[in-house]
Chain A
Amino acid sequence: MQTFIHFIRKLSNQIGIISALLLLPLIAVVLYSVIMRYIFNSPPNWSFEVSLFLFGMNITMGGIYCQLKKKHIEVDILKRMVGPAGQTFIRIFSLCAAVFVCSVIFWYGLPWAIESVRILERSMHQTAFDPPIWWFKCFVPLSSGLMGLQALVDLIDEISVLFKKGAQSS
C-alpha cells in the first residue's frame, strides 16, 4: 500500500511539472501570433486553438498538482479553532468531498469523452484550422480521475495514521 501511495504522489508531481512547463509553449504561441499579426500582418490561423489547448491542459492537469500540494484554497478558520482530533476530522471530511466531486466529474465525463472519440469530433470554433478536439475532451475525465485518485491516496494516508495512533494509545 505504501508503494502505491508513493507511486501516485510521484505521478501527480511529474504531471504537475509537465503541465506547468506547458506555459512556455503557451507564451511562445501568443508571442508568435502577436509578431505575425502586428509586424507581418498575417496572423496564423492555428494560434487561437493551440493556445486554448495548452491553457486547458495546464488548468485541468494542474488541479492534480494542487491536490498533491494542498493548494486548493480553503478557509482554515475552523481548523485553527479546534484541537488536533477535530483537525483530523475536518481533513478527512474534506478529502471525502474531494474524492466524491472528482468521481462525479470522472463518471459523467468519461462517456461524454468516449462519445467524442467515437465520432472523432473536430473543433466547434469554426476556424480554418479546424483541429480534432476529441483528445482534448479526454482531459476532463483524465484530470478529474487522477485528481480524485490523489485525494483518495491522501485519504488512505490520513486514515492509516489515525489507526496507527489508535493502536499506540490502546
Chain B
Amino acid sequence: MLRVDDVTKVYRTGLFGSGSQTAVSGVSFDVRPGEVVSLIGESGSGKTTVGRMILRLTTATAGTISFDGEDVAGYNRRDLRRYYARVQGVFQDPFSSYNPVFKVDRVLGMLRSTYLPRLSDQEWKRTLRSSLEAVSLEPADVLGKYPHQLSGGQLQRLMVARALLLEIELLVADEIISMLDASTRIDVLNLLGDLKGRGLGILFITHDLSLGNYISDRTLILRHGRVVELGPTPKVFGDPRHSYTRALLACVPQLHRKWGDDSAVEANGRPSATADATGGLVAVDDDHFVAPEEDAP
C-alpha cells in the first residue's frame, strides 16, 4: 500500500544553501493494509521527517515514496487532495494542532468544505456522530468547545475522528500520545488497535519502545536517519540483532525490572550482521533485517 524506497532527505543550511544536513538517509520500508508499523527512534533520528515526507508536507531529496504504486512526489494540487482523502496525519502536541482562536469543530468543518461538500446538514451530522463514536467521544462533550476546554486525550481522539471522516487507508501518527497523561495514553493507543482491526494501516512514530511493542505488527528502528533494524515486532524486541537496538532496550526503564537485570536482552550470543557488498540491510531471518554494525558509534 505504502512503499518508501531508499528515501533520503537533505536540508540546505546557511546562506543560499551552502551547507547541508542529512536528516534521513536511504530509508526503505512498506506498510501493508491493516498493519501497524512502528517507527522508533530517538531525537534526531529523522523519524518525524519521514512522517512529513509521507504526508507530502515536505519533499524527499532522493528516493521514492509511492502509495498504491503512484509516486507521491509528482502530485499536483488536485492529486494531493485525492491523496489526503486516503492518507492523513495526527501530530504530537494536541494544543498546537488546533488553531487556538477557533472552536474545535473547525478542524472537522475544514474537511467538509473540501471533501464532502455535497452532504446535507443531516448527513453531515450523522457522519460526525459515527466518527466520534468510533473514537469514543460524546458529541455534546466536544462540539462547540475551544481547544483549551478539552483535555489532551480528547483533542487527540478528535484528531483521529477527523481523519476517520474521510475513510482513510493510512494514518501517520507522529508521537500522538507522548504529551498525554499515562492514564489517557492507553485509551488512545487501544483506539488505534481497534482501528487496525477495521483495516486501517497505521505508521506509528514514537520514541517509546514499550508503546511500539504494544500495538505494532512490524517495527523499524531508526538512528541518525538510517534504518538500523526492521522486522516483525516480536522478533525485533525478543531477538534484537543490532547492538543499538539492544542498547535501547537495555535503557528503557521498566516497572518490574531494574536496569542491569536485563541479561536476556544484552548479548544473546547471536552474531551481529556483517557488512555486505551493497552496504544495505542484511536479512538475518525471515522478514527481519539488520544494518551492518558500524565501526565508530
- Report if A and B associate in a common complex: no
Q: Which residues of A approach B to under 8 Å, CB–CB?
A: none
